[in-house]
């Protein structure tokens, strides 16, 4: 999360930690360069998955349905 904020020169607007499909996750929204960027980051062991939507609208439309389309399959 901090890397995304720092690399874009953005501002963190919100964050929430939880789980996604039983794995630790964090959703966060930042603003940068006139856009809003919504992230879902999921940690599965040594694998990190990110779903990102950027938009000029706050919050980006359809982020929840798009982020929920991520399916982590067992190895």
Q: State residue 59's pLDDT score.
A: 82
d(C-alpha 24, C-alpha 28), whole Å: 14
pTM equals 0.87
Q: State residue 75's pLDDT score.
A: 64
Q: State residue 42's pLDDT score.
A: 97
Q: What are the backbone dihedrals phi and psi of residue 23, each rounded to the nearest 5 degrees, phi first?
A: -105, 150
Q: State residue 21's pLDDT score.
A: 95
With contact defined as beta carbons under 8 Å apart, do 69 and 62 qualify? no
In order of their start, the domains of the chain are 2-64 (3.10.450)
Tens of pLDDT along the chain (75 residues)? 888 898 889 999 999 999 999 999 999 999 999 999 999 999 999 999 999 999 999 988 888 899 999 999 876
């Amino acid at each position: 999360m901090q890397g995304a904020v720092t690399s874009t020169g953005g501002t963190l607007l919100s964050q929430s930690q939880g789980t996604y499909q039983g794995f630790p996750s964090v959703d966060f929204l930042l603003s940068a360069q006139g856009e809003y960027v919504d992230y879902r980051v999921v940690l599965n062991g040594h694998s990190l998955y990110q779903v990102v939507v950027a938009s000029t609208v706050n919050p980006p439309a359809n982020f929840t349905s798009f982020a929920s389309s991520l399916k982590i399959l067992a190895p």
